[in-house]
Amino acid sequence: MIDLNRVKTIHLYSKAVDMRMGMNKIEMLVSLSFSPLEILHSVFIFVSKNKRQLKIYYEDEYGKWLLINKLSYTLYVLPKSNETLRISKADLKELLKGVAMISMREKMVSA
């Protein structure tokens, strides 16, 4: 499983992604923007158009993970942005619960 203590960065793709994409397509999408060293021990989060499902891509020295989470009664609450955002581990934990993310430190720093 993902060891959050070893995670370097967490990237949230704010644009909707086709949830039919499998491991190979998501891996290709990530590799277009990041080098292999940047990908290792980083988390990449993709959200569906209806904001009910997300996929998490993670790669470590043992292999690759593609996790899927689907909410039944609520939607994922995401920041409004057209770019990939870096979020904190605390934000990731809140996002996985379906709770609105509290901190947008990275976005505030870049503004």
Question: Sign of torsion, CA 83 9 56 101?
Answer: negative
Residue numbers of the domain that contains 29: 9-110
The Cβ of residue 50 has, within 10 Å, a number of other Cβ atoms equal to 11
Per-residue pLDDT tens over the stretch 48-107: 988 889 999 999 999 999 999 888 887 777 777 777 889 888 888 877 776 655 444 444
Task: Give the total number of structural domains in the chain.
Answer: 1
Q: Which residue has the higher pLDDT, 18 or 96?
A: 18
Decide: 46 and 77 in contact? Cβ < 8 Å: no
For residue 99, what pLDDT is reported?
66
For residue 111, what pLDDT is reported?
45
Please indicate, yes or no, if residue 4 is contained in any of the structural domains: no
Please indicate, yes or no, if residue 24 is contained in any of the structural domains: yes
User: What pTM does this model have?
Assistant: 0.82
Q: Which residue has the higher pLDDT, 30 or 96?
A: 30
Distance of CA 104 to the CA centre of its chain: 14
Q: How confident is the model at residue 11 (pLDDT cuts 50, 70, 90)?
A: very high
Please indicate, yes or no, if residue 1 is contained in any of the structural domains: no
**CA 99 to CA 29: how far, in whole Å?**
27
- Cα–Cα nearest to 101, from 87, 91, 88: 91
Please indicate, yes or no, if residue 2 is contained in any of the structural domains: no
Please indicate, yes or no, if residue 3 is contained in any of the structural domains: no
